[in-house]
Amino acid sequence: MFEDRSARVADNAPFTGYGAAVTPGEDGPMILVAGFGCGNRLLDWTDGELRDHACGIIADANRQAVGVAAADLDADGHEELYVHNTDSYSGVSGNTDLLLDRIDHDGRTVWCDAFAQDINADRGNFNAGRSVAAIDRFGTGRYGMVVASYDAPTRFYELGDNGEITDMADATGLDITCGARSLITGPLVTDGMDIFVGVERGPNRLFENDEGHFVDVAADRGVDAPDADARGATLVDASDGGFTLALGSWEDDNHLFAPTDGGFTDVAPPAFADPTQVRTVVAADFDNDGRQELFVNVLGSENRLFEPVAGEDGPAWTACSAGDAAESGGLGTGGVTADVDGDGTLELLLVHGEVDAQPLSLYSIDTDNDWLRVRPTTQYGAPARGAVVTLDTDRGRQRRVVDAGSSYLCQCEPVAHFGLGGATATAHRPDTLTVRWPGGHERTISEPATNTTHAVAHPSAE
């Protein structure tokens, strides 16, 4: 069960936050935490603790940030950070967003806002929204950002070689107006990157990627759930191939949409379906036993943890103790995973706010189980978000999607993390690992070393 590591977060004063996103830094992961009117935080692991290094445009203390995501929009090999700001519940906002780019200035790295450049005058996003996700719609290694708007048109921004930001939503079939809450981008229907939009007060959307244009197939595929008020969503490894869509709701039934021939079927057991005020849902192998757990972050009541148990028709999910991470008094708004200290075990960072300010929380599970991590990169050397990593072992197959924007307001580290057991669970001996990029290219490594992070470059990068 989770143990509290929050003492490792330096200067951890109460904070009104929402989303968080993890992106590579110079010496390990950086976590951007959205501050709602109190300044964003940019955390990294320094001298044995998470420290905030946000300043200037990164901190941006005068706006209300909610959703964040990272990806390489300009094909320079480094991720940009997209921050969605809104001071309105729906419709039109008085705030505009940030698209933060790292540039070299007199030998040091500084951040600038692409929306503030002259070429992007009058192109700011003043639509109130929630989540942000990255998508490489053509599989070229160049990403765009989808912004889920609430009672306003969805935005889909791409960045040109000259720094010009263009909203491509209308041209690509993504110009919808609904109560959009959550976003998932990944191989939901095709082998490329599709888009799931979790909606409040209306049916969900599932956009199939048809050569860079998108068609809504949610009703045909069985994930529209028109009566649910969607919140956190994520993808979890399905035992028979594909990925199960875990979807949390606000005071309504939660869903586990498992892939079937031609669509999805809700297989959520009563314990998971039980309504609560769900915020974020995170899928990860927190204890390195070779199975992904599902962590459900809840506002105003205990967080929940589920683990898979083998069944005749695939894994059945059963509730288990979340330990210190239950946070019965927590006002959860967001959560992400990353191996912040480089020990091969994932940490879980939880953000709180909305009702009242609370400190950030950091949790992990103490384990001696083995592990293996895979960091795929694009043609340009940036994280290959949306890539699928398959690990075949003597105990079976595990699959992960490199996170491109998952759950609600958040985005986890761009690394495929696999537990291999050995201490508290049966050991898994790796045979092969295969990376498939959104454009269809593949690379396979035989007998990959354990307790190691494998950097896997795109075939065309070499």
* Average of per-residue pLDDT across 385-394: 98
User: Residues 404, 223, 310, 304: is their CA dihedral positive or negative?
Assistant: positive
The answer to whether 86 touches 126, Cβ cutoff 8 Å, is: no
User: Quick one: pLDDT band at residue 220, thresholds 50, 70, 90?
Assistant: very high
Q: What percentage of the chain exceeds 90 in pLDDT?
A: 90
Given a cut of 90, whether residue 312 has pLDDT beyond it is: no
Confidence (pLDDT) at 108: 80
Confidence (pLDDT) at 278: 96
List the chain domain ranges. Answer: 3-371
* Average of per-residue pLDDT across 65-70: 98
* Average of per-residue pLDDT across 311-321: 81
Round to whole Å and give the CA distance between 228 and 241. Answer: 26
Q: What is the DSSP letter of 301?
A: S
Given a cut of 70, whether residue 219 has pLDDT beyond it is: yes
Strands (E), 355-394: 361-364, 370-376, 388-393
Given a cut of 90, whether residue 120 has pLDDT beyond it is: yes
What global pTM score does this model have? 0.96
Average pLDDT of the residues of the chain: 95
Coil, strand or helix at 59: helix
Residue 270 CB neighbour total at 10 angstroms: 8
Round to whole Å and give the CA distance between 433 and 305. Answer: 28
Which region among 8-22, 178-192, 211-225, 305-319 has the lowest average model confidence (pLDDT)? 305-319
Q: What percentage of the chain exceeds 70 in pLDDT?
A: 99
| CATH code at 3-371 | 2.130.10.10
* Average of per-residue pLDDT across 54-64: 93
Confidence (pLDDT) at 393: 98
Cβ partners under 8 Å of residue 215, min gap 6 = 173, 207, 208
* Average of per-residue pLDDT across 400-404: 98
Residue at 161: amino acid letter: D
Round to whole Å and give the CA distance between 50 and 48. Answer: 7
The answer to whether 193 touches 137, Cβ cutoff 8 Å, is: yes
Cβ partners under 8 Å of residue 351, min gap 6 = 15, 17, 18, 19, 20, 33, 34, 332, 333, 334, 335, 360
State the Rg of the chain over Cα: 20
